Structure 1
């Protein structure tokens, strides 16, 4: 996400930047938008990883 934020600012990979803007609520090719997208991705990753670990522990018993 950081790389797409940087590349979007200088005009490279415009298609990938547009797709990232559609998929993530807070992502924009600005400094604040890139940071917001990174925080959003970190929260989503934490929640999904926590759920996956919970399922693993449930079935590992």
Structure 2
């Protein structure tokens, strides 16, 4: 799996971090999503899917 984000779409809701704090973070100055792990381990994939589904802006993209 590969994770990419569209930072221009991000609305800084923090749902990604709440669902997958080991994969996502937010910039301190504006709260926009940052990817910590572009290729998560198999045991992290469900968290990545949950975070993508929870994103209100649909800014998280998962490529299998």
Q: TM bucket by the smaller chain? A: 0.3 to 0.5
Highest CA radius of gyration, 1 or 2? 1
